[in-house]
A and B are shown apart, each in its own frame.
Chain A
Amino acid sequence: MKLTYPTTLVLHALGQGFRHGFEILDVTGLPSGTVYPILRRLEREALVSADWEDAAIAREEQRPPRRYYDVTPAGQLVLATALARYRVPRSIAARARRLRPAGAS
């Protein structure tokens, strides 16, 4: 699969522990119309895995369950290669620190 710069940013954000679609938008600054197709592609290539949040949490917050994504071991490898090719701007790392949600790994 083609490893574009936006794909790298998304993988990197996932690797940093940002697991939900909208968090990735906030961290990478990419529009949702870009991030979601990338997530789909990564999922199709088995570079990330996806699962649903616990239904109890969703019920308590009165909304549907959120979907979260994780980098698979194969994804980690690809990410390492990609990071060697692209430089992730420092601003993203800074934004990542600011936005890091409580309790995220």
Chain B
Amino acid sequence: MMSPFPLRLALWLIRVVAVLVPRTRRHAWRTEWEAELQYHAAYLRRRPRRSWWADMDLISRALGSLPDAAWIRRQFTLDAEVVHDVVYSTRALVKSPGFTAVTLLVFATGIGAAIAIVSIADTLFMRPLPMPHPERIMTIWQQNRASGAERLDVAPGNALDWLARTRSFQTLAIADPFTFNLNFAGREPDYLTAARVSEQFFSVLGAPVLHGRLFLPEEYRRRAGRVVILSHALWATRFGAESAIIGAQVRLDAGAPYTVVGVMPRGLELRLFDDRARRAEVQVWMPKPEFDEAEFKQRVYGAWNVLGRLRPGISVAETQAELDVISHQLAHEHPETNGRISAQVVPLRVHLAGGLRALLPFLLGAAAILLTVSCGNVAILLLARGSARAREFAVRQALGASRFRLVRQMVTESLMLAGAGGAIGLLVARWMLDLVGRLRPADIARVDRMTLDARSVALACGVTAVAAVLAGLMPSLQLSRPVSAAALREGRTGPRRAVGRALVVVEIAAALVLVAGAGLLVRSFMLLQRVDPGFNRDHVSVLQVFASSRIDTPEKRIAFFEQALVRLRALPGVVAAGAVTAMPFGEARVIARGLLEIPGHPAAPPEDAFAYTTAVSGDYFKAMDVPLIAGRLFDATDTAASRQVLVVSRRAARQFWKGADPIGSRVRFQFSGKSFDAEVVGVVGDLRHEALDAPAAAEVFLPYVQSGFRALTFVVRTAPDSPADLRILKEQIWALDPLQTIFSAASLERLVWQTLSQQRFNLVVLGGFALVTLLLAAAGVYGVISVSTSQRVREFGIRAALGATHGDIIRLVLAEGMTLAVAGIIAGISVAIPTARLLKTLLFGVTATDPLTFLTVSGGLAVVGAAACYVPARRALKIGPAEALR
């Protein structure tokens, strides 16, 4: 069993500290400590609940090994100055537990956050992928230059032309992802994600199989037999990780069994499936038979993925340039379909990093700022404490201690603080990563597998050492200045305060930059949530169903779905039930787009001639609460045999009829391989399909009874207190066919919520760091003002004696603090305004220099600063003038 993280950290600490113990006794010493720690950890594991307090306790016990080791060392090398420094520092730190605790907290937060962020970056961008030369693996996507849509799935015709014409790639292959139903009697129907891959696919990846073999060339022939390669995950979960599976016949669906020929290695991630799907990874690989004529011609529909391995020495830019040329040729050859389509080359690693890529620079920046502020704060704390210890330093200097000795002493102290802070920081980092993993934005692969490893620990050590020296050096140089007799008498004052103030200004400025960034994200998020998607998402359940292969004709499908709708509608509490082929925000994106031809209207330019073509059934519009704007909706008179009819969205009406009334007009289009010639009977409101920040596209609706499409999504609106939950809805479908898979079932609210996961993630992560930085900056203000107030006690006493009121003195203290705060805010704004522009891609509905956000944030910071001054000011008042002047 792997030891839990705190124990590993504790054992690691022992190993480091053991260096101090003389070699002859080191082994015994380590054994004793390790035995106790492991025994204790085992005891904690047996307890019902693990708490963070127990983790901290384990670490603090392990930290106690340091004085122990130092004590032993002193027995052997009596006058070792290092040991003396350690012992002296320990004593000094133990003597002021409050200071030690606060400093540890500050260090742990800063170091922990920095390690967490760097671990995220490391996992996503630097850790090796399990393939040779992963930097040469590219994904190629379609891009629509007209709409600006990027990373679209590729139509087969285009993919095949790319395959035939490019020269940049050593190998180039396609994958055709699909899902198939798993129907076993007695088990809840489920589905598997699968992909058919062309012959070169596995040589693009270059990854060897874990067990068995890859597909043989003859297995890529048509009707070559049913062979599959399993993903590591499927093999481990469903087949018990048995290597005997190779050669075995497995039954994956209702059809004939498949022969397993291989198992892919662990950690192979390609994210071929849609971002929003619950399973982004392929579970079963199958050979793709030779391409057929229809595939070469298909340039509109299709959901292929194209992957290629670059020739050595070819850059991404060169490849992109070559594909641009090919896209141009294709645009000439097929102006109807390819006029605005170009190819987009995306390195695999970038594709895997998903939306977090845009966030990464900000995360790293935030980590740097947070660490700086932490160091600044520790320096302030050391300075503050130094002023209390000024007399001690002066005495030691007067007794002959060299300046170097004093500096070393203080740096040792801050190193010890930072060491302990770093150890706790590793724990903090673990918690933060767990939190990030729990937020898990759907389109960020690998994010739930972020670990702290030796590299993070090494990084922690480095960061800790640098932070300690930075934080310790400045105050120690200040404090160890040559002394005068006056300093011996009353401690020093003077330039030290200037250093502390400068640090506070920098901290406030840094905090403002982060808080302003977070503020902009908060505003964006609020605006985004207020966007009207065109439908009402409350109390709506959504069930996505792909008719199983037994329901194989359009007539059977129409009958099946119609019966299901009747059952659903009959449930108590159901207000309206309908169904649709392309569900807005649905988990599986089934989107059909077609070229509309309107007789009597001039043909639109190709990029404007497309509209979403969607078939609907039952009370779809009522269930979604989409308003009817003109004409009528579909009703019982629209049957398979009646004339073909069409309802268009408002946006489609505007795009195709340019203000004329579309009702009564005829439209020709293709849907699901059939030609339609329909009459427009109504106009409805627009529906957003992809995301709240993506505007609605033109959409036309036809009655499902006239199409018989394979997939349908049920949309059921219920009364607020209806007992019809998802379980009951699913049972209605299984009552008709117990083997029918339900691809996904969720509330509409939840589906919309899912698309915001990226924004939520940005908000929580950046917002969290901003909040921590703000608190640290406030602590900095508090520290500096406390010191300054305690040094000005005599001055306040004189003022009070001369008639200054309490208000006057509070004003004095506040004035000092607010001067710093205002200076920090001004400095921060002047940095934040140019920096915030970089956030532009993450914002929605606000400009990067949104005045409201900046005003609020500045005001907020001023209030926090004032609050931090208030406590020392009150304390100054408590000292009477007589006492102050004594």
Interface of A toward B, CB cutoff 8 Å: 20-22, 25, 31-37, 40-41, 44, 53, 58, 61, 63-67
A33 touches B63 (CB 8 A): yes
Contact residues of B between 28 and 51, Cβ < 8 Å to A: 28, 31-32, 34-36, 38-40, 42
A61 touches B64 (CB 8 A): no
Take A22-B61, A32-B61 as given contacts and tell me if A63 and B68 are in contact as well, using a CB distance cutoff of 8 Å. Answer: no
A46 to chain B, nearest CB (A): 15
Question: What 1/0 mask marks residues of chain B from 353 to 395 whose CB sits below 8 Å from any chain A CB?
Answer: 0000000000000000000000000000000000000000000
B32 touches A66 (CB 8 A): yes
Which among B31, B32, B35, B67 is the interface contact of A33 at CB below 8 angstroms?
A: B67
Question: What's the Cα separation between A83 and B67 when bound, in Å?
Answer: 26
Question: What's the Cα separation between A22 and B41 when bound, in Å?
Answer: 11
Contacts of B64 in A (CB 8 A): 31-36
Complex A-B: 5 CB contacts under 8 Å: A31-B60, A32-B65, A40-B75, A67-B28, A67-B32
Question: What's the Cα separation between A52 and B833 when bound, in Å?
Answer: 65
Take A32-B64, A32-B65, A65-B31 as given contacts and tell me if A37 and B36 are in contact as well, using a CB distance cutoff of 8 Å. Answer: no
Contacts of A58 in B (CB 8 A): 35
B75 to chain A, nearest CB (A): 8
B148 to chain A, nearest CB (A): 59
Question: What's the Cα separation between A22 and B75 when bound, in Å?
Answer: 23
Interface of B toward A, CB cutoff 8 Å: 28, 31-32, 34-36, 38-40, 42, 60-68, 71-72, 75, 90
Which among A22, A25, A37 is the interface contact of B68 at CB below 8 angstroms?
A: A37
Contacts of A41 in B (CB 8 A): 71
Contacts of A35 in B (CB 8 A): 64
Contacts of A22 in B (CB 8 A): 36, 39-40, 61
A63 touches B61 (CB 8 A): no
Contacts of B67 in A (CB 8 A): 33-34, 36-37
B4 to chain A, nearest CB (A): 14
Contacts of B75 in A (CB 8 A): 40, 44
B68 (CB) vs chain A CBs: closest residue: A36
Question: What's the Cα separation between A79 and B166 when bound, in Å?
Answer: 88
A89 to chain B, nearest CB (A): 20
A86 to chain B, nearest CB (A): 20
Please give me the 6 A-B residue pairs with the lowest Cβ-Cβ distance, nearest first.
A32-B64, A33-B64, A36-B68, A63-B38, A33-B67, A37-B71
Candidate in A25, A63, A65 with the most chain B CB atoms within 10 angstroms: A63
B63 touches A40 (CB 8 A): no
Which among A32, A40, A65 is the interface contact of B72 at CB below 8 angstroms?
A: A40
B39 touches A25 (CB 8 A): no
A64 touches B63 (CB 8 A): no
B43 (CB) vs chain A CBs: closest residue: A22
B68 to chain A, nearest CB (A): 4
A69 to chain B, nearest CB (A): 10
B66 (CB) vs chain A CBs: closest residue: A33
Question: What's the Cα separation between A40 and B67 when bound, in Å?
Answer: 11
Question: What's the Cα separation between A64 and B37 when bound, in Å?
Answer: 10
B35 touches A67 (CB 8 A): yes
B40 (CB) vs chain A CBs: closest residue: A22
Question: What's the Cα separation between A25 and B40 when bound, in Å?
Answer: 11
B68 touches A65 (CB 8 A): no
B69 (CB) vs chain A CBs: closest residue: A36
Question: What's the Cα separation between A67 and B66 when bound, in Å?
Answer: 18
Contacts of B90 in A (CB 8 A): 33
A62 (CB) vs chain B CBs: closest residue: B38
Question: What's the Cα separation between A60 and B203 when bound, in Å?
Answer: 48
A52 (CB) vs chain B CBs: closest residue: B31
B717 to chain A, nearest CB (A): 59
Candidate in A36, A37, A63 with the most chain B CB atoms within 10 angstroms: A36
Contacts of A37 in B (CB 8 A): 67-68, 71
A13 to chain B, nearest CB (A): 15
A63 touches B71 (CB 8 A): no
Contacts of B31 in A (CB 8 A): 64-65, 67
Contacts of B40 in A (CB 8 A): 22
Contacts of B63 in A (CB 8 A): 32-33
Beyond A33-B68, A44-B75, 13 extra complex contacts between A and B, CB < 8 Å: A21-B32, A32-B64, A33-B63, A36-B68, A37-B68, A37-B71, A40-B75, A41-B71, A64-B34, A66-B32, A66-B39, A67-B31, A67-B35
B35 touches A64 (CB 8 A): yes
Contacts of A25 in B (CB 8 A): 61
B38 touches A64 (CB 8 A): yes
A75 to chain B, nearest CB (A): 19
Question: What's the Cα separation between A52 and B67 when bound, in Å?
Answer: 22
B532 to chain A, nearest CB (A): 60
Contacts of A40 in B (CB 8 A): 68, 71-72, 75
Question: What's the Cα separation between A31 and B63 when bound, in Å?
Answer: 10
Candidate in B28, B31, B39, B71 with the most chain A CB atoms within 10 angstroms: B39
Contacts of A21 in B (CB 8 A): 32, 36
Contacts of B71 in A (CB 8 A): 36-37, 40-41
B1 (CB) vs chain A CBs: closest residue: A62
Question: What's the Cα separation between A58 and B31 when bound, in Å?
Answer: 11
B87 (CB) vs chain A CBs: closest residue: A37
B190 to chain A, nearest CB (A): 39
A32 (CB) vs chain B CBs: closest residue: B64
Candidate in A25, A34, A37, A53 with the most chain B CB atoms within 10 angstroms: A37
B72 to chain A, nearest CB (A): 6
B811 to chain A, nearest CB (A): 44
A20 touches B36 (CB 8 A): yes
Contacts of B28 in A (CB 8 A): 67
Contacts of A61 in B (CB 8 A): 39, 42
Question: What's the Cα separation between A31 and B420 when bound, in Å?
Answer: 15
B835 to chain A, nearest CB (A): 44
Which among B35, B39, B42, B68 is the interface contact of A32 at CB below 8 angstroms?
A: B68
Take A32-B65, A33-B68, A40-B72 as given contacts and tell me if A63 and B35 are in contact as well, using a CB distance cutoff of 8 Å. Answer: yes
Question: What's the Cα separation between A37 and B75 when bound, in Å?
Answer: 11
Question: What's the Cα separation between A58 and B66 when bound, in Å?
Answer: 25
Question: What's the Cα separation between A63 and B65 when bound, in Å?
Answer: 18
Question: What's the Cα separation between A61 and B43 when bound, in Å?
Answer: 11
Contacts of A53 in B (CB 8 A): 35
Contacts of B42 in A (CB 8 A): 61, 63
Question: What's the Cα separation between A53 and B28 when bound, in Å?
Answer: 13
B436 to chain A, nearest CB (A): 32
B71 (CB) vs chain A CBs: closest residue: A37
A63 (CB) vs chain B CBs: closest residue: B38
B66 touches A66 (CB 8 A): no
Contacts of B60 in A (CB 8 A): 31-32
Take A21-B32, A22-B61, A25-B61 as given contacts and tell me if A63 and B39 are in contact as well, using a CB distance cutoff of 8 Å. Answer: yes
Contacts of A20 in B (CB 8 A): 36, 39
A26 (CB) vs chain B CBs: closest residue: B40
Contacts of B66 in A (CB 8 A): 33
Question: What's the Cα separation between A99 and B72 when bound, in Å?
Answer: 29
Contacts of A66 in B (CB 8 A): 32, 35-36, 39
B102 to chain A, nearest CB (A): 18
A36 touches B65 (CB 8 A): yes
Contacts of B38 in A (CB 8 A): 63-64
A37 (CB) vs chain B CBs: closest residue: B71
Which among B35, B62, B65 is the interface contact of A65 at CB below 8 angstroms?
A: B35
